[in-house]
Amino acid sequence: MGQSISLLGSTGSIGRQSLDVIAACGMRAAALTAHRDEARLEEQCRRFRPILAVMTDERAAAGLRVRLADTGIRVASGPEGLLEAAALPEAGTVITAVVGIAGLKPTLAAIQAHKRIALANKETLVCAGELVMDAAQAHGVDIVPVDSEHSAIFQCLQGCTDRGEVHRLILTASGGPFYGYTPEQLRGVTLEQALKHPNWSMGAKITVDSATLMNKGLEFIEAMRLYRLPPEKISVVIHRASIIHSLVEYCDHAVLAQLGTPDMRLPIQYALTWPARTAAVAPPLDLLSCPPLTFAPPDEEAFPCLALAKEAARTGGTATAVLNGANEEAVGRFLAGEIGFCDIPALVERVLAAVPAVQAPSLADILEADRQARAALRRLLPGIPSN
């Protein structure tokens, strides 16, 4: 097929699965980037022979240069290297699989360079969705979602030419490892438990987000931005089996759903081949051996992150960047063992109350909101007793 791809975040969970799809579909990886994992990036470079390899960590980049000295592969470094990979002339498509707001500037650079965006990095749309979607529209660039729920919705919207016909998007949520827990039970959970997702194997940050339900909150905002719909047209339902990846309810009450095994390679593949479909990389769904397909409302009292995200979405402007910055910082502290699980929503709530939202923000306003949110969270930390 010969499609040429720049893969930002190739050593992560989405990055590695993207390389499976690239190999299986006969595509080319023109650029690979990672933060620190030199050994894995070297291995990927030797297999996929990109034109450009980038390590955002300077010391790791120096190490990779030595490791790849015999290959002729150019090695770049730092945030500028990531921007270079995003705009690489030889790539037609950019997969954004880095984690966090670090994906924002490279996504904008890829849009300005007229690449198709296969978007996994949801934090970009949470922080700067309107800006990014406007830029994509202005440059005539397609943003095709990789996130399984948004890919499901994207698939269910194929053939819909009038967004006014959409009554509601229904995002499904697995509920995570702590589904059914009371607030008291949640106070005792450990990092190890939070990192055990029942259906998906993912990077550490999104795994914790799935356990707090912040992931569904971020996805709620991601859906608003991608499909330009108001919050009242998006709902969330707990579906433990992760077989129905999401649904669209139309104005005539027809409900379309996309089903499949929980395997990210399917939405990655579709983001790369759309509007075509090509032979499967993910395994088939056997309906007769599926677990029961059940549905329940989310418990926003025990899992306040979802409600906080909806509230930030309604406030608009930089509120969603504040939510995201506070959450990234809090999850980092939780992963480092510095705070407890229930401190995450408590801190995010306090930061949202402390940092005022700026409406119709510029990129500079968004980056400043992210900085302020992180600083506000750090100021709150000494007062947190560990649970």
Q: What is the contact surface with ligand NAD in residues (CB under 6 A)?
A: 9-15, 34-35, 37, 56, 82, 97-99, 102, 120-123, 147, 200, 202-203, 205-206, 264
Which CB sits closer to Mg ion, 52 or 144?
Answer: 144
Would you count residue 263 as binding Mg ion (CB under 5 A)?
Answer: no
* Count of chain residues binding Mg ion (CB under 5 A): 3
56 binds, among ligand NAD, Mg ion, none (CB under 5 to 8 A by kind): ligand NAD
Q: Of 98, 134, 90, nearest to 115 (Cα)?
A: 90
Q: Of 147, 152, 157, nearest to 126 (Cα)?
A: 147
Give min distance, CB of 297 to ligand NAD, in A. Answer: 23
- Report the distance separating Cα 103 and Cα 186, nearest Å: 31
225 binds, among ligand NAD, Mg ion, none (CB under 5 to 8 A by kind): none
Q: Tell me which amino acid residue 250 is.
A: Y
Which CB sits closer to ligand NAD, 35 or 139?
Answer: 35
Which CB sits closer to Mg ion, 145 or 361?
Answer: 145
Structure tokens at 374: 């992180």
- Report the distance separating Cα 84 and Cα 126, nearest Å: 23
Which one of 145-153, 161-169, 311-319, 369-377 is the stretch in contact with Mg ion (CB under 5 A)?
145-153
- Report the distance separating Cα 135 and Cα 3, nearest Å: 23
264 binds, among ligand NAD, Mg ion, none (CB under 5 to 8 A by kind): ligand NAD
Q: What is the CA radius of gyration of the chain?
A: 20
Would you count residue 147 as binding Mg ion (CB under 5 A)?
Answer: yes
15 binds, among Mg ion, ligand NAD, none (CB under 5 to 8 A by kind): ligand NAD
Nearest residue to the partner ligand NAD, using Cβ: 12
Helices (H) and strands (E) in the chain, counts: 16, 11
- Report the distance separating Cα 318 and Cα 304, nearest Å: 20
Q: Of 134, 301, 103, nearest to 203 (Cα)?
A: 103
Which CB sits closer to ligand NAD, 205 or 216?
Answer: 205
Which CB sits closer to ligand NAD, 267 or 361?
Answer: 267
Peptide bond into 145 cis (omega under 30): no
Give min distance, CB of 90 to ligand NAD, in A. Answer: 20
Which one of 91-99, 146-154, 309-317, 340-348 is the stretch in contact with Mg ion (CB under 5 A)?
146-154
Which CB sits closer to ligand NAD, 100 or 298?
Answer: 100
- Report the distance separating Cα 154 and Cα 175, nearest Å: 22
Q: Residue 98, by phi and psi: left (phi above 0), alpha (psi -120 to 50) or beta?
A: beta
Residues 321 and 366 sit within 8 Å (Cβ to Cβ): yes
The residue to which tokens 């081949």 are assigned: 273
Which CB sits closer to Mg ion, 267 or 361?
Answer: 267
55 binds, among ligand NAD, Mg ion, none (CB under 5 to 8 A by kind): none
Which CB sits closer to ligand NAD, 99 or 312?
Answer: 99
Structure tokens at 76: 């770049």
317 binds, among Mg ion, ligand NAD, none (CB under 5 to 8 A by kind): none
Which CB sits closer to ligand NAD, 36 or 49?
Answer: 36
Give min distance, CB of 148 to Mg ion, in A. Answer: 5
The residue to which tokens 């929503």 are assigned: 345
- Report the distance separating Cα 142 and Cα 130, nearest Å: 14
Structure tokens at 265: 């390679």
Give min distance, CB of 189 to ligand NAD, in A. Answer: 21
Straight-line distance from the first to the last Cα atom of the chain, in angstroms, rounded to the nearest whole number: 54
- Report the distance separating Cα 282 and Cα 261, nearest Å: 8
304 binds, among Mg ion, ligand NAD, none (CB under 5 to 8 A by kind): none
Residues 6 or more apart whose Cβ sits within 8 Å of residue 55: 33, 34, 35, 36, 38, 41, 61, 63, 64, 75, 77, 81
Which CB sits closer to Mg ion, 11 or 148?
Answer: 148
SS3 of residue 9 by DSSP: coil
206 binds, among ligand NAD, Mg ion, none (CB under 5 to 8 A by kind): ligand NAD
Give min distance, CB of 67 to Mg ion, in A. Answer: 34
Give min distance, CB of 149 to Mg ion, in A. Answer: 5
9 binds, among ligand NAD, Mg ion, none (CB under 5 to 8 A by kind): ligand NAD
Q: Which residues bind Mg ion (CB under 5 A)?
A: 147-149
